[in-house]
Structure 1
Amino acid sequence: MWAIRNLSDYYSVNLNYSVHVVTQKRGHSAEAFSDNKLSVTGRASGFYILQNRLGIQGNLITLSVPGYMLKPLSGTEDKFFFVVSEVRDIITDALSGHVEIESFSSDTLYLTLPRQSHRNIPVAVDYKASFKDQHMPVGKIKISPSTVTVYGDISLLQNIDSVRTKHLTFERLSSTRSGIVELLPVSGLRFETKEIYYTLEVVRYVENSTTIPVESVNVPEGKYVKFFPNTVRVTYRIPFSNKQNRENTIFVATIDYKEITASISNTVEPMVSGLPENVLSVELDPKFIKCKIIEQ
């Protein structure tokens, strides 16, 4: 009873800790153990003091230290240090519930962060979306950042062309969706950023169609081009809010003579001009036109 009663009391004592540092320092490993120990003076229970002394538990702490707080050690490439007093709040949080800190005997902690290969790699969003009637996306899903810095062995970095996100599913959308999605981890690699912000812009649309003749451009003298067929049907979608812009719209479908001569099969996709502003999509029927050059 006497031993338990004393171990339950609180005492002012000096405690030593091995420190596991987690950080983000561009071009370097993301974690390391400090080269020297952290020495703290504070009040703790007899139980905790005994555990710390015996190394049962409580003699190792993990500190998440922002990269800007790590200062390079002069004359080295991978050695850094940070001032203990500048991370007092981080240490206090790490020891919360165990030690009431009074002072630090350690002034500075040193650590080695080995240099690490890295590349900026594009992010690929894995998503599936469906939309309510007369609703559609405005272009592709937008993300920020569009690339992330990835660290790891050069042999792994050379074999990765994109970093994928967790799968997103959107059903029967009628409005824009935004949010945050996590990146899928890759064994042996570390991402500088683990989350991506996305926006999938959705609008209500109006669909219209018109049939227009196909015209040739840049045809040299003495040449004439005949098209099969000589008309195309243009189906386009614009935002419902811009529906008034569809009135009095003049479309032109053209084929450049240079594209005809460059085509092995003399089959060319027409270019359509005169589309309304903010057009969401355009479809041609037929998509390709057979062209025949005739000498005049």
Structure 2
Amino acid sequence: MARSFQAVKNFLFRFVNRKFLVFLFFLVISGVFWLITTLNETMEKEVTIPVILTNVPKNMVIMSDGNDTVRITVRDKGYTLATYFYTDHIKPIVVSLPSYIKSDEHASVSQAELQKMVLQRIYGSSQVINIKPDRLEYYFVNHNSQKSVPVRFAGNVHAERNHTITAINITPKNVTVYAPQKILDSLQSIPIGLFNMSSITDTVRKDIKLQRMKGVKTVPDQVRIEICADRLTEKTVEVPVETINVPDGKKLRIFPSRINIKCTVGASQFKNITEDDFKIVADYNSLTGAVGEKCVIRLVAVSEKVSNARLEVSEVDYLIEQ
């Protein structure tokens, strides 16, 4: 009985295995026919051709970016297009710079010249539908035509509620700019690319590309932005009142002589804020001498590290001594 069961089991296994192999064979055959049919159809694909710039004089700095590839849309049979993607049939376009110089600061490969270069690198059966860019432009300057300029922050940053932006640091602070002399003469700074961020609660660091300007090349072309945020808290500081414009032979006494200032400060700076960060004055010239009059005091200097600084009182008693 056991032998019969084993024999049936072996038979079924061989039968199922044979049917699976037959199914797999026809699946492969149908896939091959589908691929042949598809590749025999005419279609359009975008192909990328590398561009290599050669023979650049040592004293010359190329200003142009982005002319390192040419993208072409090609129409042909599928199997022909496949060779462009899976073989090294398409050779790079080699541009010898001195051959295309048009002026002291400009070289250009025209549309007709570029199209000729492209056609030399594809099969005769292929039809070029589109070329991007349609021409190659190169701007250059002498290596000595450079200037160091500061990087300028451009953007909007906002802290979360009950927080404040304490600093925006840029590294490096200056970059080297290569450009024609007339541009260098008028260039005072290089802005970063537009940068917007809100709800900041802690220090944020980002690498940002500098804003591109035609005819200008910057080294480096990006900087690191560090935005520091801090939680706000209130602090009270007792500050002495200084008297000013007091005539010789007289003395102006203020009561009380020290006044509390309330201000808003970042938590990290709380311990660093002292009376030296403020200045309160009482001006002798503002006194009229009327009975019962009080002396008006003013807050005339406040540290940049605090905000919303205000006097606890704005008038005090005084006494003039001869």
Q: Normalising by the residue count of structure 1, what TM-score does the alignment of the two structures yield?
A: 0.47
Give the helix-richer structure, 1 or 2: 2
Compare CA radii of gyration and give the structure with the larger one. Answer: 2
Q: Normalising by the residue count of structure 2, what TM-score does the alignment of the two structures yield?
A: 0.44
